[in-house]
Amino acid sequence: MIERWALVSGLRGDLETYDLIQRDLKKTRGVTALFVLGDLVGPERNCDALLDRLKNPHRGDLKPDCIYGWWEEQLLAERGFRGERKADALRLSQGEDAVSALLNTVNPSHLKWLASLQFGFIELDCALIHGSSSDVGDNLTSETSPLILLDRLTRLNVNRLFTARSTKQFHLELTGGGINSQVKDLNGKREQQQEVPKRSVIGIGAGLNYTLYDIGSDKTHFLTAGSKTNPKGKGFA
Amino acid sequence: MNHAIISCLHANLPAAEAVLNDIDRQGIDTITCLGDLVGYGPQPNEVVELIRKRGIATCQGCWDEDIIDGLNACECSYPSQLAERRGHLAHQWTDDQLTDENKSFLASLPTSLRRDRLLFVHGSPNSQHEYLLPDMDAFAALERVETAGADILFCGHTHQPYVRELRDGSIRVRLQNADHGNDQGEELTLPMRKIVNAGSVGEPRHGSTNATYVIHNDATDEVEIKEVAYDVGRTCQAIVEAGLPKVFAWRLSHGFEFAEQAEDASHVCER
C-alpha cells in the first residue's frame, strides 16, 4: 500500500489555501501525515483563523504536525520569546512597518503554542526543516552549491532534507563524486578518500504549491492545490 | 616569506615565552595568534600583556569570548559534565584574576583575521566553539574553507596540530523541478583547499608535553609543524599554587586530554 507524506509551508495566515490543500488530500490515496514546515503566519493578513484550525483540526482534516519557520521566528523574537534577540532580520530586510504589521496579524493568545513548535522533525532518514540544519532562515535552492547542500545533510546525518524557506519546488539529488584528502601531523602523513553519499535536498514549495512524498518508492510529487493535476503527472523518482 | 601562527596559549607564560623565543630565533617577525590567551592556566594577565606588548595580531578564542560575554556559549564540547564543571571553575578563577584593561583587550579582538586568501580563526569560520578535527567529513571541512572565501584556513581549538589538504573533489547532481520535469545532470569540480591547525602553545593534547605552533611560507605554501620544549613543571606548580583543579597540571604533564566518563552520557546541551 502506498504511504505518502504531504509537505506544506508558507501559508502565512491563508486559511483558504489550507482548506484547498486539505480538500486535495482527502481525494489523494495513501496520505498518512501532513507536515507544515513553518511560515504559518505572515504580515499580509490576520492569521488567527488559520492558527485556530491548525490547533483544532476540523472533522475529516488530516491532522497537521507543525514546526516553526522564519516568520514565526521573527514574531517570537519581537515578542520576547528569543532572549535578547528581536526581529532584526525582518527589520533589516523590510523595515519597521513590516514588523508592526506582523505583530498585528497574530493574537497574543497564540504565542505560547507557536513558541512550543519544534525547529524540525527527523522522520525515518529524512529531516523536515523550514530552512536547514544551519538556520531557520537558510535559503536553500536548486542553485545553492552542492557542497553547501551536502554540508547541511551531513550535519544531521540524514539522506533527505525537505526544506521550505526558498518557497521553490525542486528535487536535487547528489548522485556521485568524491574527494581525496591528506592529513599531515607529528606522527606522519595519511591519505583518505571519501565518496559522495547518495542524498537529496527537496524544496517543498509554499502556499498553494505543496509536495507529496511516497516514502516506499522515494518519489516526490510537486502539486498545486485546487488544480486538476494528479500526483502521477509530476512524479519524480 | 615565513610567518608563524600560534594558538591556545591558555595562560601558560613559560610555554608562550618559549614559543616566541623559538620564532624570534628564526628571524620571523610576522606572527598571528588564533586566540584562547586565557583559561585553564595560572598566568592570564601575564600572557595577555605579553601578546599586547609584542603587538601580535590576534583573533578571539572561545575562552576569550566567554570571559567577556559570560558562559552563554554552548559548551557541549566538554567531554564530560565533570570536565564542564572544572571548566566553569577555571572560568570563574580567570574572571576574578583578569584586570579590566586586559578584559577590554580580549573584548576588542576580532573573530577572524584575513590576509588575501589566508583566513585565521580560532575554531571555524562559523564559530569560535566549532572543532575542525583532522578526520572530520572531508566535504564539510572543504565547505568551511570555501564558504569563507579562503584558500587556506588557519585554526586552533583542537589542541592537535595538523595540515589537511583537500583535493580532487567533485560532486555530481541531478535536478528535477516542478517547471522542468526532465533530469538535468551536472558535475561540480571542487577546488583544492587547505586547513592548517596550529595546535596549542599552552595546553598541548597531541600526546607530548611540547608546545606546538606552525610556520607557513606564503610563497611556497609549505607548512611546518613545530614543537618546543619548555619548563612544564614550572607551569604545573603554578596551577597547583593558584588553587586551580590539579587535573589541569596532570594533563599538562602528560600532553593529552583527561576526561572521566560522563555522569550522564546522554547529556544534550539545550542552551
Q: Tens digit of pLDDT for each residue in A186-237?
A: 999 999 999 999 999 999 999 999 999 999 999 999 999 988 655 544 454 4
Using the Cβ of A124 and the Cβ atoms of chain B, whether some distance falls under 8 Å is answered with: no
Using the Cβ of A122 and the Cβ atoms of chain B, whether some distance falls under 8 Å is answered with: no
Using the Cβ of A233 and the Cβ atoms of chain B, whether some distance falls under 8 Å is answered with: no
Class of domain A4-236: alpha beta
Complete DSSP assignment for A194-230: EEPP-EEEEEE--TTEEEEEETTTTEEEEEETTSS--
Determine the structural domain holding residue B244 and report its residue range. 2-252
Using the Cβ of A144 and the Cβ atoms of chain B, whether some distance falls under 8 Å is answered with: no
Using the Cβ of A189 and the Cβ atoms of chain B, whether some distance falls under 8 Å is answered with: no
Residue of B nearest to A221 (CA): B178
pLDDT, residue B263, reads 47
**Domain map of chain A by residue range?**
4-236
In a domain, B259, yes or no: no
Is residue B33 within 8 A of residue B112, CB to CB? The reply is no
With CA atoms as reference, report the closest residue to B155 among B14, B7, B54: B7
Write the CA distances from A164 to A35, A131, A144, B106, B214, integer angstroms. 11, 6, 14, 40, 44
The reply to whether residue A148 touches residue B164, judged by beta carbons under 8 angstroms, is no
Q: Catalogue the E-assigned strands of chain A.
A: 4-8, 31-37, 64-67, 120-123, 126-129, 160-163, 169-185, 188-195, 199-204, 209-214, 219-224, 235-236
User: Residue A138 CB: number of other CB atoms within 10 A?
Assistant: 18
Amino acid at B76: C
- Beta-strand pair A126-129/A160-163: parallel
Question: Nearest CA of chain A to the CA of B243: how many Å?
Answer: 33
Residue of B nearest to A154 (CA): B140
Which residues does chain A have within 8 Å of residue B177's beta carbon, measured at their own beta carbons? 142, 168-171, 203, 222
In a domain, B257, yes or no: no
CA–CA–CA angle B179, B181, B183 (5° rounding): 125
Question: What does the alpha-carbon distance between residue B200 and residue B161 come to, in Å, rounded to a whole number?
Answer: 7
Strand order in the sheet with A219-224: A64-67, A31-37, A4-8, A209-214, A219-224, A235-236
Question: What does the alpha-carbon distance between residue B249 and residue B239 come to, in Å, rounded to a whole number?
Answer: 6
Is residue B1 within 8 A of residue B186, CB to CB? The reply is no
In a domain, B83, yes or no: yes
* Best residue of A183, A187, A213 to probe chain B, by most B CBs closer than 10 Å: A183
Which residues does chain A have within 8 Å of residue B182's beta carbon, measured at their own beta carbons? none
pLDDT, residue B260, reads 52
pTM higher than the cut 0.80: yes
The β-bridge partners of A193 are A180
Write the CA distances from A45 to A16, A80, A167, integer angstroms. 12, 22, 18
**H or E element, residue B166:** strand B162-177
Q: What is the CATH number of the domain that holds B81?
A: 3.60.21.10
- The total of structural domains in chain B comes to 1
Question: What does the alpha-carbon distance between residue B109 and residue B129 come to, in Å, rounded to a whole number?
Answer: 16
How many contacts (CB atoms, under 8 Å) link A and B? Answer: 128
Q: Mind listing the pLDDT tens digit of every residue in chain B (271 residues)?
A: 999 999 999 999 999 999 999 999 999 999 999 999 999 999 999 999 999 999 999 999 998 988 887 765 554 556 677 777 888 888 899 999 999 999 999 999 999 999 999 999 999 999 888 899 999 999 999 999 999 999 999 999 999 999 999 999 999 999 987 766 656 789 999 999 999 999 999 999 988 999 999 999 999 999 999 999 999 999 999 999 999 989 899 989 988 766 554 444 444 444 3
Section A115-124 average pLDDT: 95
Write the CA distances from B39 to A128, B16, B65, B106, B235, integer angstroms. 39, 14, 11, 12, 13
**ipTM of this model?**
0.88
- Beta-strand pair B223-228/B184-189: unpaired
Nearest to A236 among B139, B143, B176 (CB): B176
Q: Catalogue the E-assigned strands of B7-161.
A: 31-33, 57-58, 112-115, 118-121, 152-155
Is residue A46 within 8 A of residue A105, CB to CB? The reply is yes
Q: Judge whether residue A176 has pLDDT over 70.
A: yes
Is residue A138 within 8 A of residue B165, CB to CB? The reply is no
In a domain, B266, yes or no: no
Question: What does the alpha-carbon distance between residue A20 and residue A208 come to, in Å, rounded to a whole number?
Answer: 8
Question: What does the alpha-carbon distance between residue B164 and residue A183 come to, in Å, rounded to a whole number?
Answer: 4
With CA atoms as reference, report the closest residue to B169 among A205, A86, A144, A150: A150
Q: Which residues contact B156 (CB under 8 A, 6 or more apart)?
A: B7, B8, B34, B35, B36, B61, B122, B123, B197, B198, B199, B200
In a domain, B271, yes or no: no
The β-bridge partners of A8 are A36
Is residue A43 within 8 A of residue A70, CB to CB? The reply is no
Lowest mean pLDDT of A2-16, A22-36, B125-139, B176-190, name the range: B176-190
Which residues does chain B have within 8 Å of residue A174's beta carbon, measured at their own beta carbons? 171-173
Amino acid at A67: I
In a domain, B29, yes or no: yes
Is residue B124 within 8 A of residue B150, CB to CB? The reply is no
